[in-house]
């Protein structure tokens, strides 16, 4: 199904800024869509809305035919994904609780669902750590005892623990050095294949995007200015702003 995640006429306004302006696109299940754009183009705002962390001013999103729930309540409002969605952020140090061990960090999403018995939980965590290429002896360590690459693998293990419908990766490799970036991108590619994961890979680094994704949307000032289904065919990219972003990687 080519329109598994559908985003229709999504707009989001902050007090003085139109962060998203009539954004519409679809993502097929199991696809890896790159979202590229200059700083401030609205990529993270879009990611937060898809994660259910922020309610858009206008527009609809649906997942597998089920709409995100939008409800106004007294004293607030609700905007929720109809399935399970997880995230991996750039700032892996602040996206984990420094007082929790690797085991506790990865187990957290398991606790939110039905809590597995201790033996089963331990087996699941060992399996998750193995899937992200981490030795299970690291399970008792705290975040400050891990390298950046190891900690980002822990965040990826946590992201896949709840078998999410899709994962939003927001600048997930930017804080890592080039060699480790490559390793994490290879890990994401292989996890995607093995688990049929759907990934939304947000980045202003077109090199990382073209390495991981085939389909790419380009954003500028809150709008989608171009979508290409095969980024390796660079001739497909027509919009001047999108071409500039593409060329910035080649040079
Ligand atoms: N909570 C907020 N309140 C007000 N304005 C915001 C808020 N969050 C983002 N913005 C503004 O909305 C616009 C889009 O921001 P967003 O973070 O989505 O951009 P981005 O494409 O992720 O940029 P970057 O590549 O720098 O991460 C920017 O102009 C930003 O200043
Ligand atoms: Mg951002």
Domain boundary among 142, 164, 186: 164
- The mean pLDDT value of the chain amounts to 92
* Position 224 pLDDT exceeds 90: yes
For the chain, the residue count is 251
Instruction: Flag whether 27 is in a domain.
Output: yes
Shared domain check, 170 and 74: yes
Digit-coded pLDDT (tens) for 44-80: 999 999 999 999 999 999 999 999 988 777 777 789 9
* Position 109 pLDDT exceeds 80: yes
199 burial class (0-12, 13-18, 19+ CB within 10 angstroms)? buried
Parallel, antiparallel or unpaired: strands 76-80 and 17-27 = unpaired
Domain boundary among 129, 164, 199: 164
User: Quick one: pLDDT band at residue 1, thresholds 50, 70, 90?
Assistant: low
Domain boundary among 120, 143, 164: 164
Determine the distance separating the centroid of ligand 2 and the alpha carbon of 89, expressed in angstroms. Answer: 9
Shared domain check, 109 and 15: no
Of the listed ligands, the closest to the CA of 221 is: 1
Instruction: Flag whether 72 is in a domain.
Output: yes
Shared domain check, 134 and 109: yes
Shared domain check, 70 and 169: yes
* Position 81 pLDDT exceeds 60: yes
Shared domain check, 73 and 172: yes
Shared domain check, 240 and 123: no
Residues lining ligand 1, CB < 6 A? 14, 17, 19, 37, 39-45, 204
Backbone φ, ψ for residue 196 (5° rounding): 50, 45
Nearest CA to ligand 1 atom 30: 40
* Position 4 pLDDT exceeds 50: yes
CATH number for the domain that contains residue 200: 3.40.50.300
Rg (CA), the chain: 18
Instruction: Flag whether 102 is in a domain.
Output: yes
Task: Give the DSSP H or E segment for 2.
Answer: none
Nearest CA to ligand 1 atom 9: 45
Q: What is the per-residue burial (b if ≥16 Cβ within 10 Å, else e) of 163-172?
A: ebbbbbbbbb
User: Atom of ligand 1 at shortest distance to CA of 47?
Assistant: 18
Q: What is the mean pLDDT of residues 11-19?
A: 96
Which residue carries 């700083």 as its tokens? 39
pLDDT at 249: 67
Question: Is 26 within 8 Å of 7 (Cβ atoms)?
Answer: yes
Shared domain check, 72 and 142: no
User: Quick one: pLDDT band at residue 251, thresholds 50, 70, 90?
Assistant: very low
User: Atom of ligand 1 at shortest distance to CA of 41?
Assistant: 21
Q: How many domains does the chain have?
A: 2
Q: Which residue has the higher pLDDT, 241 or 61?
A: 61
Q: What is the mean pLDDT of residues 26-37?
A: 95
Determine the distance separating the centroid of ligand 1 and the alpha carbon of 41, expressed in angstroms. Answer: 7
Q: Which residues are CB-contacts of 145 (< 8 A; sequence separation ≥ 6)?
A: none
Segments forming the whole domain that contains residue 127: 95-164
Shared domain check, 77 and 26: yes
pLDDT at 74: 74
Determine the distance separating the centroid of ligand 2 and the alpha carbon of 114, expressed in angstroms. Answer: 33
Shared domain check, 169 and 242: yes
Shared domain check, 172 and 244: yes
Task: Give the DSSP H or E segment for 250.
Answer: helix 240-250
Shared domain check, 153 and 35: no
Instruction: Flag whether 90 is in a domain.
Output: no
Determine the distance separating the centroid of ligand 1 and the alpha carbon of 18, expressed in angstroms. Answer: 10
* Position 169 pLDDT exceeds 80: yes
Q: Which of 21, 35, 45 to mutate to test the pocket of ligand 1 (most atoms within 8 A of CB)?
A: 45
Instruction: Flag whether 8 is in a domain.
Output: yes
Shared domain check, 193 and 156: no
Instruction: Flag whether 67 is in a domain.
Output: yes
Instruction: Flag whether 234 is in a domain.
Output: yes
pLDDT at 236: 80
Instruction: Flag whether 89 is in a domain.
Output: no
Determine the distance separating the centroid of ligand 1 and the alpha carbon of 72, expressed in angstroms. Answer: 24
pLDDT at 232: 83
């Amino acid at each position: 199904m080519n329109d598994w995640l559908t985003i229709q006429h999504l707009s989001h306004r902050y007090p003085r800024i139109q962060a998203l302006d009539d954004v519409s696109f679809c993502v097929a299940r199991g696809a890896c869509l790159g979202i590229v754009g200059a700083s401030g183009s609205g990529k993270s705002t879009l990611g937060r809305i898809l994660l259910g962390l922020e309610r858009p001013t206008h527009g609809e999103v649906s997942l597998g035919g089920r709409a995100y729930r939008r409800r106004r309540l007294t004293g607030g409002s609700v905007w929720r994904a109809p399935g399970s969605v997880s995230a991996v952020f750039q700032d892996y140090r602040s996206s984990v609780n420094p007082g929790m061990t690797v085991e506790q960090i990865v187990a957290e999403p398991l606790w939110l669902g039905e809590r597995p018995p201790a033996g089963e939980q331990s087996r699941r965590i060992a399996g998750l750590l193995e899937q992200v290429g981490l030795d299970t002896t690291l399970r008792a360590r705290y975040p400050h005892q891990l390298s950046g690459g190891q900690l980002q693998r822990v965040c990826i293990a946590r992201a896949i623990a709840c078998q999410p419908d899709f994962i939003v990766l927001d600048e997930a490799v930017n804080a890592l050095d080039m060699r480790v970036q490559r390793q994490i991108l290879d890990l994401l590619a292989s996890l995607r294949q093995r688990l049929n994961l759907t990934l939304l890979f947000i980045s202003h680094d077109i090199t990382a995007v073209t390495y991981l994704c085939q389909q790419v949307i380009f954003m500028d000032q809150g709008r989608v200015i171009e979508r290409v289904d095969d980024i390796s065919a660079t001739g497909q990219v027509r919009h001047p702003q999108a071409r500039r972003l593409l060329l910035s990687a080649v040079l």
